[in-house]
Every structure is written in C-alpha cells, then in structure tokens.
Amino acid sequence: MTDHGHDNLTILDHPLIQDKMARLRDESTSHEDFRRLIGQVAGLMTFQASRDLPIVSSTVRTPLEEVEATRLSAPVTLVPILRAGLGMVEGIIALMPEANVGHIGLYRDESTLEPVTYYCKLPAMIAEGPVFLVDPMLATGGSAIAATEVLQTHGCRDIRLICLVAAPEGVRAMAEAHPGVRIFVAALDRELNDVGFIVPGLGDAGDRIFGTR
C-alpha cells in the first residue's frame, strides 16, 4: 500500500497475494493453475476490500447464553465483467457465499472503439448494498467505466472495483470518470503498450483462464 499518487487506488501488497501474483505472471503457469490462483488472489483481495462493509449490532444465542454480535447490514453483490471476471468469482464466493451475483458483458465496437453492453443481469436488490465489480485487468479503463455507469443507472452508489493488475492510464481514466469508485489492485504496472496491453502484465487473462490462447 505504498504511496503511488492515485487517491482512488489501494495496492494490496500482502505477501500471500504477491506470492500468488508472481506465479500468475509466469508464462509457464498452466491454465489449471492460473484459474486456481486467480480465484485465490481474488478472495484475498476481497477480504481486504471488505474491511469497512456496513454493519449492524444484533444478539444471538450461543449454546450457553445470549451474546452481542455484529452482522452485515446490507446485501453484498458481486458483479464480474464478462468474460475474464468470471475467473475471480469462485474465490470471492468462497469467502462470501451469501453474496448475490450479477453479470455485465461488454465488447469493444471496432469502428468507435467504445465499449458496448451486450448482456446485463443484476439482482433486484443490488442498490441496497455495496457492489464489488471485478475484472482481472484495468487497462484503458473503458470497460470498468462503462460497467460502473450501468451499475449507477440501477441505483448503485457504493461500488468497489477489484482488479489484479492495473495500468496508470486506466486508474487515471476511472478517477476522472468515477472519482467515488475505490479501486483495489494487487499490482500497478508500468504502462500500456501500443496495442493496449498492460506491461509487464500477465498476458490475456481471459485466454489464460479458459485455455483459449
């Protein structure tokens, strides 16, 4: 969580996260191991990103007596950006099995280069609590910005973006478009190359998750 000059960004530098990130970056990592590792990293990151979820006091009865307890006060929704975001879902659901799950699908129009929403299915109560928007890579920021706008049209206000790797260009674009969205990443990489890939990055996350490279 070192100083990086981006007010909207938190870099999660926990040793367990960074160890798994090293293996995710390795080009020799198999598709099977990549899928397993990306879920593990997503779960660890969500644990950090959920530290300030809204809570409420309650009372429960143990086998011995009543005791004051704390519960989440609002439903949490997980929204992966298709398709690569799906690779992060299992690890997060293992941590929060009670979370609702929605999906947003986007593609880039070849003529305008703008993201276009082709699929959107969200829980009815999504605006009632925090939303974790997940995508392994934050490159130009176009998909994350568009997905955030979709969520906002459904009334969402507490939106947290979780990505494994980000480029400074994407972080800046999100800050300009949606300054209230907090971004959590495992790594802030150097830059985008001339074809829009994050470098050093970890390659095409979707291809590596689904074995299509």
Which residues have CB under 8 Å from 186's CB, separation 6+? Answer: 11, 12, 17, 18, 21, 41, 45, 164, 165
Taking the C-alpha atoms of residue 142 and residue 145, their distance in angstroms, rounded to an integer, is 5
Burial of 208 (0-12, 13-18, 19+ CB in 10 A): buried
> 108 - beta bridge partners?
115
Q: What are phi and psi of 104, to 5 degrees?
A: -130, 125
> 199 - beta bridge partners?
191
Catalytic residues: 108, 112, 204, 207
155: left (phi over 0), alpha (psi -120 to 50) or beta: left
